[in-house]
Structure 1
């Protein structure tokens, strides 16, 4: 490793976690303030649902980007940031679901169940969230030791299904102006394709 690369790695290691914390936390009070100040447009609840969902998807896709980055750079210590980003995605997905259940439906569980079963895009969104629950609950090092590496990896492969469901949920929820959902879907597809190609890559002795 060259001295320049070593310095760059030290700088990234020093600042990445504070930067990620800021990225995860700061949008929440901004969105709350915009809601309270009536700055979210004519349908603030719908806008808040969309924005919280977008943040959840961003962090979910970012968590998928960590493994390719580790393989290309050799920075194995980034695995902790992958778990952090996964939990950030769950945090924002929980916020997205909370807006839907509390502000949109006011805990009307009967109507929520009807909505989930009637509309495929809602079903996909709920599926993406449900699949994230065991991933969030087993994101600790203790869980890895308890489950064992192979079992833990198999369980966390659910993230691939979750991100696909989330991207489809976003596409069908928006219906118009598909540029942003397609962009997210394309990035997610590229990251999944990287994994497939990497595994298929011949290993030298």
Structure 2
């Protein structure tokens, strides 16, 4: 039987999506992604010890870890749209790992705050959470991330059932909203909202895409 190829492709060539899927499906893809995801944390640790974080290294470390939390949150929410639009179906292999890195950077952000700002004083932390709305919002986001991380494994999916698991993990959009609000209130003291607006726009676009896909599905007659 003759081989059927896509119009415009030279004989023997493969679509770019096939090559990307082959690379993403390779056994080295996950370890490579793991190392790349750890690089920002490794750089921040090195910069802290090398005194490269500026005049207020504690604040720089806390805020940088928060920035990387929200960046990885963007990445994990981008995976499904990218997979759908480009046909890179093998991206799904990396979604759980990227999601767990969101939780990892959020934990490091919380740890740095508890350590450098509060000196691990539980009463001081509780008082700060109650008094400052942006700390409360950030802590609520972390609690939701904890729930998602704890149920991100196959055993939890089987225990919850696929439908309930999917409903629970849609909370990631609520986490995105809390992250933007946390970021907004933190920057409000300096009237610096440019970066907040960028993340808010990205999250709104991703949520809009998901809603559009849901509404565009053909309904059973």
TM-score > 0.5 by shorter chain: yes
Residues 1:88 and 1:115: Cα distance change in structure 2 (over 3 Å):
same
Distance 1:188 1:151 in 2: 23
- Conserved 8 A contact 2:134-2:182: yes
Tell me which residue corresponds to 1:196.
211
- Conserved 8 A contact 2:144-2:175: yes
Superposition RMSD in Å: 1.9
Q: Which runs of 5+ in 1 are unaligned?
A: none
Task: Write 1 or 2 for the structure with the bigger share of helix.
Answer: 1
Distance 1:63 1:148 in 2: 22
- Alignment partner for residue 22 of structure 2, among 10, 13, 16? 10
Q: In structure 1, the residue corresponding to 2:25 is in which secondary structure? A: helix
Distance 1:82 1:7 in 2: 19
Q: In structure 1, the residue corresponding to 2:119 is in which secondary structure? A: coil
Tell me which residue corresponds to 1:103.
116
Tell me which residue corresponds to 2:10.
none
Shift of 1:146: 1.7
- Alignment partner for residue 170 of structure 2, among 142, 157, 163? 157
- Conserved 8 A contact 2:21-2:90: no
Within 5 Å, give how 1:6-45 maps onto structure 2. 6-14=18-26, 16-45=29-58
Within 5 Å, give how 1:105-184 maps onto structure 2. 105-175=118-188, 176=190, 177-184=192-199
Shift of 1:79: 2.4
Distance 1:112 1:11 in 2: 45
Tell me which residue corresponds to 1:90.
103
Shift of 1:83: 1.2
Shift of 1:204: 8.1
The TM-score, its normalising length taken from structure 1, stands at: 0.92
The TM-score, its normalising length taken from structure 2, stands at: 0.85
More deviation in 90-99 or 184-193? 184-193
- Alignment partner for residue 200 of structure 2, among 178, 185, 188? 185
More deviation in 117-126 or 72-81? 72-81
Structure exhibiting the larger radius of gyration computed from Cα positions: 2
Q: Which runs of 5+ in 2 are unaligned?
A: 7-13
